[in-house]
Amino acid sequence: MEDRRILANAVRALSMDAVQRANSGHPGAPMGMADIAEVLWNDFLSHSPNDPTWINRDRFVLSNGHGSMLLYSLLHLSGYGLSIDEIKNFRQLHSMTPGHPEYGYAPGVETTTGPLGQGLANAVGMAIAEKVLADQFNKDSHKIIDHNTYVFLGDGCLMEGISHEVCSLAGTLGLGKLIAIYDDNGISIDGEVENWFTDDTKKRFEAYGWDVISDVDGHDNKKIASSLKQAKYKTDKPTLICCKTIIGFGSPNKEGKEECHGAALGDDEVALTRKALNWNHKPFVIPSEIYEAWDAKNAGQKKQDQWDVLFNHYQQEYPDLALDLQRRMKGEIPAGFEASANSYIHECQSNFEKIASRKASQNCLNAYGPMLPELLGGSADLAGSNLTIWKGSKAIKSDDASGNYIFYGVREFGMSAIMNGISLHGGFINYGATFLMFMEYARNAIRMSALMKKRSIFVYTHDSIGLGEDGPTHQPVEQLTALRATPNLYTWRPCDTVESATAWKHAIMRDDGPTALVFSRQSLEPAIRDDEQVALISKGGYVLLDHPDPKLLFIATGSEVNIAIQAARELKVAGISARVVSMPCAELFCLQDKEYRDRVLPPNLSNRIAIEALHKDYWYKFVGLSGIVIGMETFGESAPGDVLMQEFGFTEENLVNVAKGMLS
């Protein structure tokens, strides 16, 4: 088909029709970016609609996710399993076309986007994954990992602070396979952005170490193609293509205005737009010749077949590497890992070591790391405090991608969203660390990981007021409550080396969501357990110390478990029997069957006290309103950790007194 504009208009028509039918959505961005998308998807994007999970496909990310109908239109037209009925069902319950792209709903959607800037961050993570994976598996004559990451973004993405974090790092790491296309339409929901966004974007990205192609007419297919060709062959640094576009292109009365940003055009304006675009077809009707011109199934299959030939040769020459790549891209754990991890857990129990759980975490990395070539770690400028560098760690640099550790710098939010991109790309089990307090900077990225059900391991140290003198700005209080309230996130706060090793094992083996591992700065007393108790740690909560006829039940996590044990022993001397339950992962405990939960927390044992040196409210679901929670209700103070634990009541003496008062 000669007229490329007609192909782009198919995207515009589907987008405005779907938004109009839903009476909800964002038609402006899809209509404005249709020409760019048409050129990219038809001339440059290497993908296979027949196999949306093809290993060596280019990744496409719509960071300005409110323009979701752009992506859905592209997927539908190019031959993915997204029917016209699903397009008609835009933004409706249980459709494959929700209001923002959601990973796992429709084939070809690489990530969930909507919170602006995070799609861009995901794309950086995907580009990192491609670069590292290529270094690990490619051979001179077999470049089996060789693909680009393309990301569309808007003004809003660039205004979000996360864009600075991730684009700065992308430049530093020389991610030459990352190509970002900026939809510079000058409009956001509130109107003309020149009133609040006047950055010199070109200079900004050049300062990051990007190549910048500026002032591209986003409605001229030849100029778009030329810029993409230039970007594709610039392999030593990422590229930003700045495209000047008209939001709502084709709408006679609303193009170039905020009115078309976040609302349906209206029936009358849709009719006028059809006339202006010379689109003489009914809503949701695409002529067969346009479908044929857009259909990428045959071309995509040809590309994949060519790659299959290359990979077959690779398999013959490097069979072990080929098997490992396939295993990793499927997200499978190496054979024998679970058994080896269990052996290490029992070794920890035998060693009975008194160390900080952050140190226990590092020991886990040294034990598990050699078994996991896919392990990719990092820290937000706190590696020496988080203890996330293990004996096999090697830094990833712009000129050397052979490592397995990313120095993220002070970029907690960026790190976490990049981790999501790495997980989405596949081939790695990645972890990233900071202080628990600073998960606040990254909270939305953690939520996105849980929403997408992707394996990422968020490591948090300095887990309570027990960190001491740094004071309340660094002392977490409410953070664990926020993590535990996040659906599909498992949060572990281990009490010693054994629980730490179990937590790491579970985080590594979990393939349906992220895990937060929360570790202490201060040393923790090891707990006495038999083999059955060690096995029960995996259930998230278990009886650690018991009595045939307990009158009182303690629930504790982390550093407070030993306080509960010592208090129970003192009460026993006084003739009061107590059960101690360690609950390192409450979410996992809640998933156990009722019989097990009742066995650990007998319904008739109502005298319950929970103790944790963090916000107290979470624990009332376990102790009941008649129970007592010893926890934080205020922020901390600046003082040595042991002084603070005394000051706020996290002591054996206070727990004993509270228990006696409950029974009196």
Q: Specify the DSSP class assigned to residue 283.
A: T
Cα–Cα distance, 239 to 43 (Å, whole number): 18
Give the pLDDT confidence score for residue 289 in this predicted structure. Answer: 96
Residues 6+ apart with CB under 8 A from 89: 95, 96, 97
- Reported as half-sphere exposure (CB side, CA atoms, 13 A), residue 318 has a value of 17
Give the pLDDT confidence score for residue 350 in this predicted structure. Answer: 97
**pLDDT tens digits for range 468-523:** 999 999 999 999 999 999 999 999 999 999 999 999 999 999 999 999 999 999 99
Mean pLDDT of the residues in the chain = 97
Q: Using an 8 Å Cβ cutoff, are 199 and 158 in contact?
A: yes
Q: Using an 8 Å Cβ cutoff, are 472 and 561 in contact?
A: no
Cα–Cα distance, 202 to 192 (Å, whole number): 19
Give the pLDDT confidence score for residue 3 in this predicted structure. Answer: 84
**pLDDT tens digits for range 290-326:** 999 999 999 999 999 999 999 999 999 999 999 999 9
Among residues 112, 42, 110, the alpha carbon closest in space to that of 77 is found at: 42
Cα–Cα distance, 112 to 122 (Å, whole number): 9
Active-site entry in 412, 499, 587, 612: 412
Task: Output the six-digit token pair for 370.
Answer: 């050699």
Task: Output the six-digit token pair for 372.
Answer: 């996991």
Give the pLDDT confidence score for residue 444 in this predicted structure. Answer: 97
**pLDDT tens digits for range 407-458:** 999 999 999 999 999 999 999 999 999 999 999 999 999 999 999 999 999 9
**Containing H/E element for 533?**
helix 531-536
**pLDDT tens digits for range 351-384:** 999 999 999 999 999 999 999 999 999 999 999 9
Q: Using an 8 Å Cβ cutoff, are 70 and 98 in contact?
A: no
Among residues 411, 385, 359, 499, the alpha carbon closest in space to that of 128 is found at: 411
pLDDT at 333 over 50: yes
pLDDT at 99 over 50: yes
Q: Are strands 523-524 and 355-356 parallel, antiparallel or unpaired?
A: antiparallel
- Reported as half-sphere exposure (CB side, CA atoms, 13 A), residue 78 has a value of 29
**pLDDT tens digits for range 114-141:** 999 999 999 999 999 999 999 999 999 8
What is the reported pTM? 0.98
pLDDT at 2 over 90: no
**Containing H/E element for 222?**
helix 221-232
Largest CA distance in the chain: 91
Give the pLDDT confidence score for residue 1 in this predicted structure. Answer: 41
For the chain, give the percent of residues with pLDDT over 70: 100
3-state SS string for 122-175: HHHHHHHHHHHHHHHHCECCECCCCCCEEEEEEHHHHHCHHHHHHHHHHHHCCC
Average pLDDT rounded to a whole number, residues 570-583 = 97
412 classed as catalytic: yes
Residues 6+ apart with CB under 8 A from 44: 58, 150, 225, 228, 229, 232
Give the pLDDT confidence score for residue 285 in this predicted structure. Answer: 98
